[in-house]
Structure 1
Amino acid sequence: MQGRQATRGAGPGRHGTGPGALRPALAAPGRHPRRARLPLGGEDPYRAEFRRWVPGTPGLPEGADALLRARAQARKSDDDAEDARELRRELLRLGVVVRDEEKRQYWRIVSE
């Protein structure tokens, strides 16, 4: 009986031990925990790795070019902003990070 009481209440999600329990502790105060922060100075350390996207750009994973085409189209309309965000997430699943500058899209492969 004592063994049962000792483990009781210690499951996931209790006493701050669930899957998201550390997120607030790891996030900087006043910052969204999922947003990446640039190092001091504000310069993107991967900036030199980005390449400008044009249709048919070589070196992209299969399917990424089509997603970038659809995203370029979605970015032309304010009504399609959510579509553009969703396509960005799809590209990230393929290992492609996208950066926008004015009307242009730049991409890089996620480094491990």
Structure 2
Amino acid sequence: MCRTKNKKNGFSRSKLLAVAKHMPPLYHKLPGEVFDIKKSEVVKWLVQQPEILNYIFNQIKGKNPYIVYNPTTGKWRGIDYVKQNGSFSNCNVCNDHMVEERD
């Protein structure tokens, strides 16, 4: 991953994040509405940027990965993902929800 040295505090920053410097003025919380991350103009703009998506993916699969690749199937999965009888286990978001695995 491309990183640059920050002279102020010595921390590295990914060059992939530099695209955010070009973001136009956008709302994160829409005026007069309750905050909803799914309605954030900022988040919508960010996830449309390939550099941001690459940065997120690199972080998630990095040194302490949250996802792992299976070269046999060509698929990625979460490190705690366990499929039991068609439902997710170890997932407080999707417990008891039936799922259909797709290729």
- Using the size of structure 2 for normalisation, the TM-score is 0.23
Between structures 1 and 2, the one with greater helix share: 1
Comparing both chains, which one has the higher relative contact order based on Cα–Cα distances under 8 Å and sequence gaps of 6 or more?
Answer: 1
Largest Rg, 1 or 2:
1
Structure having the larger proportion of residues in strand: 2
